Amino acid sequence: MSGVYDRQYQRQKFVEKLTPYLFISPWILGFFFFTLGPLVFSFVMSFYDWPVVGDREFIGTQNYEVMLTQDPLFWDSLWVTIKFGLFFVPFNIVLGLLLAVLLNQKVIGSGIFRTIFYLPSVISGVALVTIWAWIYSHEYGILNFLLGLAGIQGPNWLGDPNWALLAIVVASLWGLGGTMLILLTGLQSIPKELYEAAKMSGVPGWARLIFITIPMLSPMLLFTFITSIIAAFQQLTIALLLTGGGPLESTYFFAMYIYDNAFKHFEMGYAAANSWVMFLIILALSMMVMKSSSAWVYYEGEMKKGGNKDA
C-alpha cells in the first residue's frame, strides 16, 4: 500500500520536475538548431581575418584591438546610436502609451482608428523609406512645401547633419503602432473597478494614470522598454535607405557600421567582432533594466515568495 503510494509520489515528482522543461523545449531545441551554432561560429570568426572568399587567418584579438583603438568609425557610430536611442526609446514608449490611452477610451470608430495607427507598421520597408524620402526632400518634399505655404523656410532635413538624426527618429517613430498595440493589450487587462473606485474617491485623471495605469501596465512597459533598446541598436533599414549614414556620418548607426564591414568591405571577421561588442552592450543595458525592474514592475500573477514548485 505505502509502496505503491510512494512510487506514485516519486513518479509524480519526476513528472513535475520534467514538465517545465517540456514546455520550454521548443525554444531550447530551436536555440540549439538555429542560434547556438551561428553564435559560436561568429565568435570564432571574430578572431580571424575572414574575407568572404579567400584565405582566413587567425589573428587573435586584433579585430577587437583595431576596433577599440584605431577605428574612429566604431566610436562615432556608437555615439550616433546612443543619441538615437536617447530620443527614440522614451518617445516610442510615451507616445505609444498616449495613443493606447486615447484608444482605450470608448470612442466611435475605435477599430478604424486602431487600424489607421497600425497602418505604417504594415507598409514594407522599401516603400516606407520611399515615402519618407518624398516627405523630407529638401527641394521637392511635401514637408518643406507645406512649411513654405506657412511662410517658413524648412531646413534640409536629411542633408543637414544637425537635423538628419532627428528626421530618422521621427521616421522610426512612425512605426510605433506595434508599441501602441502591446500597451493597449496591457491596458485591457486592467480591471475597470480600479478606475471606478478611484473616480468615486475623486482621484483626478492624471493621478489615475500615474497611480493605477502605469503600475498595472508595468510588465508591458518593461517589455517595450527592453525591446525598444534592442530596436534602437539594431536600427538599420531606414537610415541605410534614407540617408545611407550621412550626411557626414551623422546617421551612421552602429548596425550600419557592422553592415558595411560585412557587405561593403567583406570583412566578416571584423563584422563579427563588431557584432559581439554590440551584443554585449545591449545585453548589459537590458540586464540593467531587468535588474531594476523588480523595483518598478508589478506582477499580478507573481508566484508567492519561495514559490510554488508544483504550480
Enumerate residues 144-203 that contact another protein by CB under 8 A. 145, 156-161, 174, 178, 181-182, 184-194
Compute the distance between CA of residue 183 and CA of residue 92 in angstroms, rounded to an integer: 11
Chain positions 3 to 42 lying near another protein, rule: CB under 8 A, are 5-6, 8-9, 12, 17, 19-24, 26-31, 33-35, 37-39, 41-42
From 263, 288, 292, 296, residue interacting with another protein (rule: CB under 8 A)? 263
From 59, 93, 147, 282, residue interacting with another protein (rule: CB under 8 A)? 282
Residue 111 binds another protein (CB under 8 A): yes
What kind and span of H or E run contains 223? helix 214-234
Any bridge partners for residue 51, and if so which? 267
Compute the distance between CA of residue 261 and CA of residue 248 in angstroms, rounded to an integer: 18
Stretch that binds another protein, among 57-65, 78-86, 106-114 (CB under 8 A): 106-114
Residue 209 binds another protein (CB under 8 A): no
From 4, 70, 153, 206, residue interacting with another protein (rule: CB under 8 A)? 70
Inter-residue contact 237 to 251 (CB < 8 Å): no
Stretch that binds another protein, among 57-65, 81-89, 134-142 (CB under 8 A): 134-142
> Hey, how many other C-beta atoms are within 10 angstroms of the C-beta on 26?
9
Name all contacts of 130-134 with Cβ < 8 Å and 24+ positions apart.
Answer: 132/167, 132/171, 132/174, 132/238, 132/242, 133/158, 133/242
From 59, 93, 102, 203, residue interacting with another protein (rule: CB under 8 A)? 102
